[in-house]
Structure 1
């Protein structure tokens, strides 16, 4: 999600200078293991979150300004399906405010896979609640389709927060949201097995400090592997990785020092997700002609 107009005008010169410097001189010395390919669908020019399903099928969505829909594309960027859902009727015309991340995991029916879409962006810190939508992962896809959903409204225990990271913890059976902007961000959780239209006050599990300053350290996406044993968090300039010990909570795992993983710096990369087997991860940026990057999880000592 972009800053408000006044803040944006102040940010533009320094933001461009910073990113240009980093792209040219730093680049993190990393390249994707697979050749990147263009994201073909022009509908995804504001891509903000991704979830990798079986067969490397990518479910992705735009952030603020789009309607209540998300997309399925293949690993080469071909648009497979546009999936429409019933959003919040109080949000006129669009049905959603600012969808910022998408994740997959268990749900109310045992052994069935679900998709969770987080309308959790709150640039001004004014929303009385944010909303997460839940969909049964479709077995068949068509060009344009309507998909059924449940929704849960979530409140923060310490007042509104801006967030772009939604994760599903299959071990504790919780929704996990990580806030975006603070020097030390918050980690919040809510039960995964909610009822449609429930309103739940989340629990603050803990806090996380990552290196960096200002915009460059904003936490813009994250994911938990399907087995719950690995965690990824992404900022604009890096990818951080943790391995989980036993049944410890996500916040307990995040207290340990992370490992920096390979990352090719993107112009505005706000999406990351594990492959189903947990052996690799994908990143995609906002912007026209953005590319799909795939990285293998390195073997750690």
Structure 2
């Protein structure tokens, strides 16, 4: 039998290339420590925001097209509760317009933990105000429950903005919104100490430039750790990380060059959130049977994971 040496070389090169690719993929998976968990409930097909409570429940919500509700699921993706609330009566069909992110932190009562849901999407840039809903974090659940809420209407100082990122700063006691689409996105803030049905004009605190073009630059989610020391922002292609110096403002922290954290590219990943201890972060994408990914934060100088 005659051996075709060129074919043998090509075969070996193909096998070596495949082996290297497999090792890279395994390495990425190991670094990410992702969980092979799927979101089962059919109504959770447009997940756009994520907040993880101190008892490790994951609060998530759909974006535009859903009614005024959000969900509690466990770390395995099983549905714990559908939480319904009173939305904006001017939105007759759904009660909300476009909920894009959810966050947690302090509020108007000292020592109490709250959930904040941001109805802040504005694809057409024509909303006169956006709305943040605040809920006292529940300690009892039923499969379908009504939850009391307060709301604040927020106006931008420079006209309507499309945004998908809502964060709670426990140090400055502020809501932080970051716009989505500009080459340099805007950083806006408002006090956490609002009263129900207040209308407040946001303060623009600065701008943030991230590398990339088009969709790769869009800021679609973010979170601040419970102690206020760590910040993560997510685009469609990357997760960026900052470590705060003391009690400096969020805008000052975001002026520094970020660190890219491990991230397995999702089909349309629009949700990120810290674990309660700040040593890990979770990502979930839109789409049916979306996977819950858990990533350890790499050990960095001065980080909370050390």
Q: Determine if the TM-score, normalized by the shorter chain, exceeds 0.5.
A: yes
What is the deviation of 1:35? 2.8
Relative to structure 1, the CA distance from residue 34 to residue 58 in structure 2 (aligned partners, 3 Å threshold; closer, same or farther) is: same
Q: Secondary structure at the match of 1:66?
A: coil
What is the deviation of 1:29? 6.9
| 2:48 paired residue number | 48
| 1:269 paired residue number | 269
Tell me the distance in 1 between the aligned counterparts of 2:260 and 2:224: 16
| 2:281 paired residue number | 281
What is the deviation of 1:99? 0.1
| 2:7 paired residue number | none
Q: Secondary structure at the match of 1:295?
A: strand
| 1:65 paired residue number | 65
Q: Does 1:30 align with 2:28?
A: yes
What is the deviation of 1:34? 3.6
Q: Does 1:195 align with 2:195?
A: yes
**Contact kept? 1:170, 1:228, Cα under 8 Å:** yes
Alignment of 1:124-143 (within 5 A): 124-143=124-143
Tell me the distance in 1 between the aligned counterparts of 2:41 and 2:71: 9
**Contact kept? 2:34, 2:292, Cα under 8 Å:** no
Tell me the distance in 2 between the aligned counterparts of 1:273 and 1:227: 14
State how many pairs are aligned: 277
Tell me the distance in 2 between the aligned counterparts of 1:251 and 1:196: 27
Tell me the distance in 2 between the aligned counterparts of 1:28 and 1:264: 11
| 1:102 paired residue number | 102
What is the deviation of 1:27? 7.9
TM-score by length of 2: 0.89
| 1:159 paired residue number | 159
**Contact kept? 1:168, 1:174, Cα under 8 Å:** yes
Q: Secondary structure at the match of 1:30?
A: helix
| 1:259 paired residue number | 259
Larger Rg: 2
What is the deviation of 1:28? 12
| 1:297 paired residue number | 297
Tell me the distance in 1 between the aligned counterparts of 2:127 and 2:86: 20
| 1:236 paired residue number | 236
Tell me the distance in 2 between the aligned counterparts of 1:122 and 1:262: 29
Q: Does 1:77 align with 2:77?
A: yes
Q: Secondary structure at the match of 1:42?
A: coil
What is the deviation of 1:40? 1.2
| 2:113 paired residue number | 113
Tell me the distance in 1 between the aligned counterparts of 2:87 and 2:34: 36
Tell me the distance in 1 between the aligned counterparts of 2:232 and 2:220: 11
**Contact kept? 1:29, 1:264, Cα under 8 Å:** no
What is the deviation of 1:291? 0.3
Unpaired runs of at least 5, structure 1: 1-23
Alignment of 1:200-211 (within 5 A): 200-211=200-211
What is the deviation of 1:59? 0.3
What is the deviation of 1:30? 2.8
1:3-23 per-residue CA deviation (whole Å, 9 max, x = no partner) reads xxxxxxxxxxxxxxxxxxxxx
TM-score by length of 1: 0.90
Q: CA RMSD in A?
A: 1.5
What is the deviation of 1:54? 2.0
Relative to structure 1, the CA distance from residue 261 to residue 28 in structure 2 (aligned partners, 3 Å threshold; closer, same or farther) is: farther
Q: Secondary structure at the match of 2:107?
A: coil
